[in-house]
Structure 1
Amino acid sequence: MPRSALTGTRIRERRSLEGLKQADLARDVGISPSYLNLIEHNRRRIGGKLLVDLARALGVEPSALTEGAQVPLMEGLQDAASNAAPGPRRGGAKGTTDPETARAEEFAGRFPGWAALVVAQRDRITALERRVEALNDRLAHDPFLSDSLHEVLSTVTAIRSTAGILNNAGDIDRDWQARFHRNLYEDSQRLADGSQALVSYLDTVGKSEDTLSAPLDEVEAWLAQRDFTIPELECGMMPDLVGDEGLRSPAAQSLARKWVLRARAEAEKMPVSLVEDVIAAHGPDPAALAQEAGVDLAAAMRRLAALPPKEGRPPMGLVICDGSGALTFRKPLDGFAPPRFGAACALWPLYQALLRPMVPIRRVVEQQGQPARRYLAYAICQPRPPKSFDAPEVVEVTMLFLPLDRLDGLGHVPRDAEVLGVGTSCRVCARKNCVARREPSMVLEDVEEG
Structure 2
Amino acid sequence: MKKLFAGQILRRRREELGATQSHVAKRLGISPSYLNQIESDQRPLTAAILVEVTRVLKLQVADLYDDGPERLAANLREMLSDPLFESAGVAARELKSICAGAPHLVRAVLDLHAAYRRVEERYRGLDDALSQGDGLEATRKPFAFDEVRDFFHFLGNYVDILDRRAEELAERLSPDDALAFEDLAGYAGEKFGLRVVASPPEALGGAVSRYDPDVDALFIDADQAPATQKFQLGCAIARRCEGERIDALVADARFKSEAAADIARLALANYFASALVMPYGRFADAARAARHDVERLSRRFGVSLEQVCHRFSTLQRPGREGAPFYFLRVDRAGNITKRHSATRFQFARYGGACPLWNIHEAFERPGQFLVQVAEMPDGARYLSIARSISKKGASFGSLRRDYAIGFGCEVDHAHELVYSDAVDLKGSSAVRIGVSCRVCERRDCAQRAMPPLDLAIVVDENERGVVPYRIDGGG
TM-score (norm 1): 0.52
Q: Select the residue among 140, 144, 151 that pairs with 2:118.
A: 144
User: Share of identical aligned residues, percent?
Assistant: 23
User: After superposition, where does 1:48-447 map in structure 2 within 5 Å?
Assistant: 128=73, 130-136=75-81, 144-150=118-124, 213-230=142-159, 231-236=161-166, 237=238, 238=242, 239-241=245-247, 243-246=250-253, 247-311=255-319, 313-332=322-341, 335-369=344-378, 372-386=379-393, 390-405=397-412, 407=413, 409-412=415-418, 413-414=420-421, 415-416=423-424, 418-442=429-453, 443=455, 445-446=457-458
| Bigger mean CA offset, 308-317 vs 294-303 | 308-317
Describe the superposition over 1:46-92 as per-residue Cα deviations: whole angstroms up to 9, x where unpaired. xxxxxxxxxxxxxxxxxxxxxxxx797xxxxxxxxxxxxxxxxxxxx
- Give the drift of 1:132: 1.1
- Whose radius of gyration is greater, 1 or 2? 1
- Give the drift of 1:408: 7.2
Give the match's secondary structure for 1:240: helix
Flag the 1:329–1:125 CA change in 2: closer, same or farther, 3 A.
closer
Describe the superposition over 1:217-274 as per-residue Cα deviations: whole angstroms up to 9, x where unpaired. 1111222243212331442443424752244534324433443444333323221122
On the 8 A contact 1:278/1:288 being kept in 2, the answer is no
Q: Residues of 2 paired with 1:308 and 1:269: CA distance?
A: 17
Q: Which residue of 2 aligns with 1:449?
A: 466
Unpaired runs of 5+ residues, structure 2, are: 1-41, 45-67, 83-109, 167-237, 460-464, 468-475
On the 8 A contact 1:376/1:404 being kept in 2, the answer is yes
- Give the root-mean-square deviation of aligned CA atoms: 4.0
| Bigger mean CA offset, 379-388 vs 268-277 | 379-388
- Give the drift of 1:327: 1.2
Q: Residues of 2 paired with 1:303 and 1:125: CA distance?
A: 24
- Give the drift of 1:214: 0.8
Flag the 1:306–1:224 CA change in 2: closer, same or farther, 3 A.
same
Q: Which residue of 2 aligns with 1:95?
A: none
Q: Residues of 1 paired with 2:264 and 2:138: CA distance?
A: 28
On the 8 A contact 2:377/2:434 being kept in 1, the answer is yes
Flag the 1:335–1:360 CA change in 2: closer, same or farther, 3 A.
same
Q: Residues of 2 paired with 1:126 and 1:403: CA distance?
A: 15
Q: Residues of 2 paired with 1:408 and 1:354: CA distance?
A: 24
Give the match's secondary structure for 1:383: strand
Q: Which residue of 2 aligns with 1:115?
A: none
On the 8 A contact 1:426/1:441 being kept in 2, the answer is yes
| Partner amino acid, structure 2, of 1:224 | H
Q: With CA pairs under 8 Å and 6+ residues apart, which has the higher RCO, 1 or 2?
A: 2
Give the match's secondary structure for 2:450: coil
Q: Residues of 1 paired with 2:124 and 2:149: CA distance?
A: 28
- Give the drift of 1:146: 4.1
Flag the 1:350–1:257 CA change in 2: closer, same or farther, 3 A.
farther
- Give the drift of 1:389: 6.1
